[in-house]
Amino acid sequence: MPDFTLQELMIVAGARQIRDHEVVFVGMRLPLLAFCLAKSMHAPAAVGVFEAGIVRETPAPELLYTMSDPANITGASWCTALQNVMALLCAGRVDLGFIGGAQVDRFGNVNTSYIGDPSRPSIKLPGSGGACDIASFAGRTVIIMEHSRRRLVERVDYVTSPGHGPDAHWRSRMGLPGGGPRAIITTQAVLEFEAETGEAVLASIHPGCDHASVRTSTGWPLRNGPSVHETPPPSARELEVIRRYDPKGLWSR
């Protein structure tokens, strides 16, 4: 049996998307721990932005249950209004943003609004929050979600947060300044987006999963990327950092 959890593997995959000196719109749960891990490992100069209006150059010393926990405020570089951190997006100051959703399609469009016909939806979801702003303006985005056919769909029921639209050139036609989605980290694999087509293709498969399972759980004919490999497992040091920040495994187990 592996000595790490699926959540820990996804956290590590998310952390590896963060580069040093980048400004990262963090989010909660797995992205939060991915930011803590990246800061401790390979991106010590990365800066975290939280939708609650908080900017940090160091991770909070305690595990966060919400963005506005006192631990996230103490020692922050900037505690300000929501509109000010969202303005960082509009000004092109955010390099990477993490988002999630109920559905994502082959071009990285995300739905957090409705399931079914929007005029008579079978399920009403929470809506955008700040995800549409992140998807529109961040230099690139990473989507983290469960891998299943009901979530990875051919076409989302409603585009809450834009990915690459219907093709790789749609964003430039619409005047969206952000670079769009670069990866989808799921419970089975990592998908990356082709620059030429804007379509998500298989980049790596998590340990214990296989091609057949990944394809069966994907709602479109998933193509292989240029070099499909096994997702590298967490190192002992990466697990040590994750478990230091989340000792009870609230988000990571």
The pLDDT tens digits for 28-67 are 899 999 999 999 999 999 999 999 999 999 999 889 999 8
Is 154 catalytic? The answer is: no
Q: Is the pLDDT of residue 202 over 50?
A: yes
Strand partners, 132: none
Q: Which residue is associated with the tokens 């926990």?
A: 69
Give me the mean pLDDT over the 215-233 stretch.
96
Give me the mean pLDDT over the 124-140 stretch.
94
Q: pTM for this structure? A: 0.95
Class of domain 6-245: alpha beta
Work out the angle at residue 238's Cα, subtended by the Cα atoms of residues 204 and 253, and round it to the nearest 5 degrees.
Answer: 80
For residue 167, what pLDDT is reported? 87
Give me the mean pLDDT over the 163-168 stretch.
92
Q: Where do runs of H (alpha helix) occur along the chain?
A: 6-15, 30-41, 70-73, 82-90, 131-137, 170-174, 211-216, 236-245
Amino acid residing at 109: N
Q: How far apart are CA 16 and CA 144, in angstroms?
A: 13
For residue 1, what pLDDT is reported? 40
Pick the catalytic residue from 51, 57, 196, 199.
51
For residue 142, what pLDDT is reported? 98
